[in-house]
Amino acid sequence: MTLVAEEVRIDVPVSGAPRRSVLTRLVARLGNGVVQVVLALVAVFWLVPVFGLLIASLRDESANTANGWWTVFTKPAELTLANYAELVANQAVWQSFLNTFYIAVPATVLVVVLASLASYALAWIEFPGRETLTVVVVGLLVMPIQVALIPVAKLFGALGLFGTITGVVLFHVAFGLPFAIFLLRNFFTGIPRDLIEAARMDGATEWVIFKRVILPVAKPAIASLTIFQFLWVWNDLLVALVFADQDSAPITVALRAQLRQFGTNIDMLSTGAFLSMVVPLAVFLVFQKYFVQGVLAGSTK
Amino acid sequence: MAEVVLTGLGKAYGDGTRAVTDLNLEIRDGEFLVLVGPSGCGKTTALRMIAGLEQITEGTIHIGENVVNDVPSRDRDVAMVFQSYALYPHLNVYDNIAFGLTLRKLAKKEIDHRVREVADVLELTEHLDRKPRNLSGGQRQRVAMGRAIVRAPQAFLMDEPLSNLDAKLRVQMRAQIARIQREIGVTTVYVTHDQTEAMTLGDRVAVMRRGVLQQVGPPQELYDRPVNLFVAGFIGSPGMNLVSAKLDEDSGGRFWVSLGSDALLLPESVPQQRPALRQYVGRDVVVGIRPEDMEDTALADAREGEILHSVADLVEAMGSDVLVHFPVDVPPVVTDDTRELAKDAGTDDLPKAGKGTVLVGRFSPRTRIYEGQPVAAWVDTSRLHFFDPATGSSIWKQELQ
């Protein structure tokens, strides 16, 4: 849901088209206007529930039960930070919030590090069986996560990982890698061979090529992967529900537990949900600046 | 700096295709050697094997004292300039040039000194802070050169470094490359498909065809004494005229070749230089006439047996000289070699048997020949070339048979 924050730019060549008639230009401009209106509508559709969630989290329980969040437009005095104060004071929710970090950060870092190393090898280092290995790894994309839940739960039980943060992280890493390798390997193979060979001629070892040529050039792909992986882990409920226990539960699981305890306590839920949204949004905004077009421009003719 | 020696070098791919076969070349210390040939002739593969970017199937490569077959590129101490330049897009010009030096862990001060010196030579000083994407094609090319020069390697390898530049810049950079190479005197292997580049840059030129070395020698030798049809046709622009003609000997022991209604008389020097020619009397030979060995008869001191008559069907005034195209009624030469040359020149309309052959003469600009008018072309018969029609080999001495 945070993806709406992405700036959408449609470049329409306005100048430099002398051959086009007034009519086609008019249609083009109208078309451009229509596109912008549609985009604005989509953005509003996406933002209304988020905004509602924010308002609900700022009203107390009785107000939320009595009427809808839009009442705030007529009675802004109802707004209060009490819910947030209560949430921060709630040890269980606070702990789960931290747990989410303990799960999402390593699960993201590990996937990005392992996938970029593996992708470099699969894309650029020649070794026997490389093609087969690539197909096998990427083929794992079709493996549904649900199929693995019970076998892995048994395995984790035997290894003493069941109910631990480590277990949850490992599961996320395992299931995040196929897609991550698929994404990065595709990007890496698109890097001109000459660039890598130039570095090799300049005296670079594979490690130096990876660190000083591939990684800087692949920043946009790595940024996308980081955002994807972080969002996926942060928003996950299923994996955490299966593998985490009460002490290691992330915010998604904790919020669900709140639901059961108090029935429709919309004030607590909306507050927790909103807080849990802020972090991925921040991650997105931080990494967004790496989405630069034409990183490879000027390298090769 | 060191010599580079290729011995029996060969490259075969997994599917059995051969890129290079039994290549023997000795590139002397400080020499500028140009590998030239049409695309797909194996010249780039040979260069990449020297660079260590391509596995060697057979043979050995020496750089200096050492066999480098199993030495990885990074330890061969050779620098390469790529056709695509392959600049590091995320680094500015300074860091692009310094990259190789930083990997060698040189002192910062030393690196700075060397980068600035090279930038000065290549007129890149004011661009040191810019990224490759903000540079023009010529500037990028110079950065690529700088990256090679700064390392002061054992040898330079250049893979068609000028082919992405426009014609004018290419001539400029060609001169610059020649000057720099002479100044620093580093052994250089330069790959190109452009015979002008090959002739102007190389101390020696090696012509390759389908992975096989045809001839290696100083540019003038390749021009004057090509060993076969392929080299003859490849070197020189416009290319050598090749026609099929019958060789006769008259009662006075003089040699004639018949080209349609005309016959050319060979001066005595020709059979003296090419004793093997005698064996072809009464048979067809391939006669090669360089366009620059022809002249408008009106402007030359022409004698009997030195003139071809025809009608000009195209006249191209080049300013410094005039190219006159005229058909003669002799069958064109169609062999593997000429087919490959035509393919390289991009001319699909191979001369068809029975339609005659169009010759090109390079005349003085004072000529008064216009399209559609009769041409009497004087031929410098002492400079004719002769090839065996079956093998394509140049006819010189007996043992070349």
Pairing of strands B241-249, B187-192: unpaired
Say how far apart CA A160 and CA B151 lie, in whole Å. 56
The number of distinct structural domains making up chain B is: 2
What digits encode the pLDDT tens for the residues B56-105? 999 999 999 999 999 999 999 999 999 999 999 999 999 999 999 999 99
Q: What pLDDT shows up at residue B352?
A: 52
- Residues with Cβ within 8 Å of A235's Cβ and at least 6 positions away in sequence, in order, are A252, A280
Give the domain range for residue B300: 232-400
Judge contact between A197 and B53, C-beta under 8 A: yes
Would you kindly state where each structural domain of chain A is located, as residue ranges?
A: 2-7+21-80, 90-288
Identify whether residues B165 and B247 lie together within a single domain: no
Residue A122: Cβ within 10 Å count: 21
Q: Which of B209, B230, B251 is the last residue of a domain?
A: B230
Query: What average pLDDT does this structure show over A150-163?
Result: 92
Regarding pTM above 0.90, the answer is: no
Q: Which of B230, B251, B286 is the last residue of a domain?
A: B230
Mutate to test the interface with B, among A127, A194, A201 (most CBs of B within 10 A): A201
At position B328, the amino acid (one-letter code) is V
Identify whether residues B207 and B246 lie together within a single domain: no
Identify whether residues B226 and B237 lie together within a single domain: no
Q: Which of B53, B73, B133 sits opposite A298 (nearest CB)?
A: B133
Residue B169 touches chain A, beta carbons under 8 Å: no
- pLDDT surpassing 70 at residue A192: yes
- Residues with Cβ within 8 Å of A28's Cβ and at least 6 positions away in sequence, in order, are A12, A20
Long-range (24+ apart) CB contacts under 8 A made by B5-9 are B5/B61, B5/B62, B6/B46, B6/B50, B6/B59, B6/B60, B6/B61, B7/B59, B7/B60, B7/B61, B7/B62, B8/B58, B8/B59, B8/B60, B9/B46, B9/B49, B9/B56, B9/B58, B9/B59, B9/B60, B9/B61
Please, which pLDDT band fits residue B144 given cuts at 50, 70 and 90? very high
Q: Which of B171, B202, B230 is the last residue of a domain?
A: B230
Are the beta carbons of A301 and B132 separated by less than 8 Å? no
Identify whether residues B201 and B245 lie together within a single domain: no
Mean pLDDT over the full length of chain A: 85
Beta bridge partners of B175: none
Q: What pLDDT shows up at residue A10?
A: 41
Judge contact between B59 and B22, C-beta under 8 A: yes
Identify whether residues B239 and B119 lie together within a single domain: no
Q: What stretches of A18-129 show up as alpha helix (H) in DSSP? A: 22-57, 61-66, 82-89, 91-124
What digits encode the pLDDT tens for the residues B96-122? 999 999 999 999 999 999 999 999 999
Residue B54 touches chain A, beta carbons under 8 Å: no
Return phi, psi of residue B56, to 5°.
Answer: -95, 125
SS3 B361: strand
Q: What pLDDT shows up at residue B109?
A: 96
The CA distance from A66 to the nearest CA of chain B, in Å, is 58
Q: Report the CATH number at residue B29.
A: 3.40.50.300
DSSP B273-287: H-GGGGGGTTSEEEE
B146 to chain A: nearest residue by CA?
A202
What digits encode the pLDDT tens for the residues A121-148? 999 998 999 999 999 998 999 989 999 9
Identify whether residues B238 and B218 lie together within a single domain: no
Query: What average pLDDT does this structure show over A201-210?
Result: 94
- Residues with Cβ within 8 Å of A249's Cβ and at least 6 positions away in sequence, in order, are A96, A99, A240, A257
Q: Which of A132-146, B173-187, B329-343 has the lowest mean pLDDT?
A: B329-343
Please, which pLDDT band fits residue B323 given cuts at 50, 70 and 90? very high
- pLDDT surpassing 70 at residue A267: yes
Q: What pLDDT shows up at residue A5?
A: 39
ipTM, 2 decimals? 0.86
Identify whether residues B124 and B242 lie together within a single domain: no
Are the beta carbons of B87 and A294 separated by less than 8 Å? no
The CA distance from A117 to the nearest CA of chain B, in Å, is 20
Query: What average pLDDT does this structure show over B244-270?
Result: 90
Mutate to test the interface with B, among A131, A202, A293 (most CBs of B within 10 A): A202
Say how far apart CA A107 and CA A100 lie, in whole Å. 10
What digits encode the pLDDT tens for the residues A239-265? 998 998 888 889 888 888 877 565 567
Query: Can you say whether residue A16 is alpha, beta or left, with left for phi > 0 and alpha for psi between -120 and 50 degrees?
Result: left
Fold of the domain built from segment(s) A90-288:
MetI-like fold (1.10.3720)
Pairing of strands B4-12, B18-27: antiparallel
Identify whether residues B192 and B322 lie together within a single domain: no
